[in-house]
Amino acid sequence: MEEEIHNFIKVWATIFLSLSFCHYMAKITPKGPTRLLFIAPTLCLFLCLPLRLHTVHLGGMTSFFIAWLANFKLLLFAFGRGPLSPPPPSSSPISLPHFIAIACLPLKVSPSPKVDEKKSPLNYVAKAAIYVSLSWVYDWGAHLHPKFILFVYFLHIYCFLDVSLTVFGAVARVAIGSGLEPPFNEPYLSTSLQDFWGRRWNLTVSSILRPAVYDPALALLEGVLGLRWARLAGIWATFVVSALMHELMFFYLGRQRPTWEISWFFILHGACLMAEVGVKKAAEHGGVTWRPPRVAANVATVAFVLATGFWLFFPQLIRCGVDVRGIEEYEAAGAFVRGFFRERFSAARWTVGI
């Protein structure tokens, strides 16, 4: 664990220096291919840096923050778009602390400076308590149904991401003084796949995939396919890119050859979302106003997400040993902290002559 922490510090020191370089290059290079050329080495470096880390928590979060989010933000930044570029009509670049915080953390800056007031702090306290309590469930894994264990994995991942990303956002909010939107919006209340992926689940990723993948695909294909079909093609392209990035994230976690189950999960959801959008548009054009009851739509949506996750998504997590390694890391982290304070306490006693 001590070696991993040292590597973690070195990796993030390299990240900060690289982002400082990108911030400086924006001042002396015009947006477009020229800026992209100078930023390209940083993009490649960010794909390699997560390989220096091997733990689920430090390595997994770093790979998500840097190899995915930061690289996509830098690609947009190279062409004067995305959250790293100054909002119009301003032409002056954002400050270096803001640039680094927004680039390397899963933040979605809100146009309003107000802190999100929809969620009570008790919401996050409850999710943190659920997250901790679920860790004890794994001790009884041999006596529980495999499907129930998969459901526990789902809850574990959701609570961990929601709480941890919110904590990062709270720290960044203090650092940069901007209003931030929450990373999740209670996905278990989704009433459709469009609602789940577009408005509730991991909004930080959605806010990056839209300008980086969906909008360019729509602009490129609208003249060829027409607006209606270009929108569906944009949805398809977004899910394909998301599938490939998830495969990369799983490679960082397990260092195993991809089985492509994760890709099939997102391709399936992309196809179903395209069909859902198509049916809705056809119903609107046909004057059909009927909608299924909200409760029924919610149950069907959550059941579909869970069923396909049990089938294609979570088995890959199990093969990577994320559950076992995660618990081992908690124990190692606890032992490291206890040892650290024990050494400091012993040194203090020796200094005062106790």
- In this predicted structure, what is the pLDDT of residue 181? 66
**Which tens digit of pLDDT belongs to each residue from 189-227?**
999 999 999 999 988 898 899 999 999 999 999 888 888
- Is the C-alpha dihedral spanning 200, 322, 128, 178 positive or negative? negative
Output the DSSP codes for 79-92.
TT-STTSPPTT--S
CB 42 within 8 A of CB 14: no
Instruction: Report residue 175 as tokens.
Output: 């650092």
Q: Alpha helix locations (H) across the chain?
A: 2-28, 33-48, 56-62, 71-78, 96-104, 121-137, 146-176, 193-195, 203-209, 215-225, 227-254, 261-285, 294-308, 314-319, 322-352
135-140 contact pairs (CB < 8 A, 24+): 135/327, 135/330, 138/323, 138/327
**Which tens digit of pLDDT belongs to each residue from 84-108?**
887 766 667 788 888 988 898 877 6
For residue 346, CA distances in Å to 1, 167, 339, 342, 352 come to 21, 33, 10, 6, 10
Q: How confident is the model at residue 147 (pLDDT cuts 50, 70, 90)?
A: confident
- d(CA 95, CA 104) in angstroms, rounded, equals 14
- In this predicted structure, what is the pLDDT of residue 20? 95
Instruction: Report residue 241 as tokens.
Output: 């890119």
Query: For 115-144, what is the mean pLDDT?
Result: 70
**Which tens digit of pLDDT belongs to each residue from 297-341?**
999 999 999 999 988 988 888 887 776 777 677 666 666 666 655
- In this predicted structure, what is the pLDDT of residue 38? 94
Q: Is the pLDDT of residue 66 over 90?
A: yes
Contacts of 80 (CB under 8 A, 6+ apart): 31, 32
Q: Which residue has the tokens 């959701």?
A: 158
